[in-house]
């Protein structure tokens, strides 16, 4: 595919074949295929519009990969509106039913959200590992009207982000992060959605110092809420009585709650059980030794994890009911037409496993 060929298509002298159009969309312009059929190029929402709690300098430094994922997330929101005909399928929608102000204590928000999700702390402890815990949270979020998608961000400084919408709120999670971090990201972003804002979860949150007013309060509260929900203070204090704060006790508590060691150490730090130097040294040490997750399995299995079962099931249901064609199905899934059978096989295997 040469530059001259693309220019001829743009000038209307020739038309690309469908496989060529797929290459244009996914490999060259990195845009959803559907926009090539619009009468006019759609207006793209800027990062400034999506993430008002990020300072301007962070927006300017945002890597091209994250901007691409933001466009993909916006396209997924459009897909959701089309697939569900503008109606969120969840009977109970958490971002509609719960409303909080930025000065609400994190403990109060955490209690109400846990009651709404109907996941008692005992059920959290019963998860066999952090991966199962993340899957539990993801399932409950989608049951409550918040759609969760994943991708390999390829940017270590970004754990995830969310896009607020009054009907189809969406969270996008970095699949390369540990499952403990992915769970933290879910709840950090859920807090943003409960405050009716988009937001970004970054492990290094020094940008908060550059925020003012409500935006600063919201960003601080999102972190506090995530830590409080996953490790409720009252339960933590009971478990921490008489414990020596060391690597072993921190790891044991982290395993019990299925969170990172940093979340546990922060609880000890906030209670004056360790000083700032110890806290910062341990966090820096763990960050230096951290490794990114390398997704296993096939291309199709990974794509299935990124999109979620509910989304896949809805798209294939519409296709088999002949409400959409195979090209539109491929666009909804973000794959080429030739990959459709492999994607359906993933959904079929999961359905049998369930």
Task: Give me the phi and psi of 7, to 5 degrees please.
Answer: -60, -40
Task: Give me the phi and psi of 319, to 5 degrees please.
Answer: -70, -45
Q: Which residues touch 336 (CB under 8 Å, ≥6 apart)?
A: 19, 22, 26, 330
Tens digit of each residue's pLDDT (9 = 90 or more) over 110-135: 999 999 999 999 999 999 999 999 99
Q: Give the pLDDT band (50/70/90) at residue 323.
A: very high
**Closest by CA position to 149, among listed 113, 117, 174, 185:** 174
Which of residues 288 and 181 earns the better pLDDT score? 181
Task: Tell me whether strands 160-163 and 147-151 are parallel, antiparallel or unpaired.
Answer: unpaired
Q: Is the pLDDT of residue 143 over 80?
A: yes
Q: 137 vs 127, 181, 251, 258, CA distance in Å? A: 11, 13, 21, 12
Token output for 37: 């059929």
Q: Is the pLDDT of residue 248 over 80?
A: yes
**Closest by CA position to 326, among listed 310, 343, 350, 311:** 343
Domain extents in the chain: 45-230, 233-291, 295-354
pLDDT of residue 27: 62
pLDDT of residue 97: 97
Q: Give the pLDDT band (50/70/90) at residue 32.
A: low
Please compute the mean of the pLDDT values over residues 263-282 and round it to a whole number.
Answer: 94
Task: Give me the phi and psi of 172, to 5 degrees please.
Answer: -120, 120
d(CA 168, CA 313): 17
Name which of 102-111, 186-195, 215-224 the model is least confident about. Answer: 215-224
Please compute the mean of the pLDDT values over residues 306-312 and round it to a whole number.
Answer: 91
pLDDT of residue 255: 97
Q: Is the pLDDT of residue 55 over 60?
A: no
Instruction: Read off the pTM.
Output: 0.85
Percent of the chain surpassing pLDDT 90: 61
Q: Is the pLDDT of residue 82 over 60?
A: yes
CA atoms within 13 A on the CB side of 64: 2
Q: Is the pLDDT of residue 43 over 70?
A: no
Entry field: residues in the chain: 354
């Amino acid at each position: 595919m040469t530059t001259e060929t693309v220019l001829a298509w743009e000038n209307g002298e020739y038309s690309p074949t469908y496989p060529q159009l797929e290459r244009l969309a996914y490999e060259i312009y990195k845009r959803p295929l559907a926009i090539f059929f619009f009468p006019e190029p759609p207006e793209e929402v800027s990062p400034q519009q999506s993430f008002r709690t990020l300072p301007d300098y962070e927006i300017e430094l945002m890597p091209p990969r994250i901007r691409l994922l933001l466009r993909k997330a916006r396209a997924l929101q459009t897909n959701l509106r089309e697939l569900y005909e503008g109606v969120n399928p969840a009977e109970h929608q958490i971002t509609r039913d719960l409303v909080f102000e930025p000065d609400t204590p994190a403990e109060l928000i955490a209690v109400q959200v846990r009651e709404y999700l109907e996941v008692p702390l005992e059920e959290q402890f019963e998860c066999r590992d952090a991966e199962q815990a993340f899957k539990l949270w993801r399932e409950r979020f989608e049951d409550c009207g918040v759609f969760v998608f994943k991708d390999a961000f390829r940017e270590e400084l970004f754990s995830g982000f969310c896009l607020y919408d009054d009907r189809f709120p969406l969270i996008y999670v970095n699949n390369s992060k540990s499952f403990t971090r992915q769970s933290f990201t879910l709840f950090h972003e859920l807090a943003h959605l409960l405050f009716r804002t988009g937001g970004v979860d970054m492990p290094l949150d020094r940008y908060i110092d550059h925020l003012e007013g409500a935006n600063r309060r919201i960003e601080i509260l999102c972190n506090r809420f995530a830590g409080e929900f996953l490790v409720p203070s009252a339960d933590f204090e009971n478990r921490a009585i008489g414990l020596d704060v060391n690597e072993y006790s921190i790891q044991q508590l982290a395993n019990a709650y299925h969170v990172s060691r940093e979340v546990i150490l922060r609880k000890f730090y906030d209670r004056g059980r360790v000083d700032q130097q110890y806290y910062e040294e341990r966090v820096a040490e763990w960050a230096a030794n951290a490794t990114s997750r390398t997704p296993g399995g096939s291309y199709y299995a990974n794509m299935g994890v990124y999109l979620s079962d509910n989304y896949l099931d809805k798209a294939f249901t519409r296709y088999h009911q002949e409400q959409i064609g195979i090209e539109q199905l491929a666009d909804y899934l973000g794959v080429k037409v030739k990959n459709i059978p492999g994607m359906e096989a993933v959904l079929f295997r999961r359905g049998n496993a369930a």
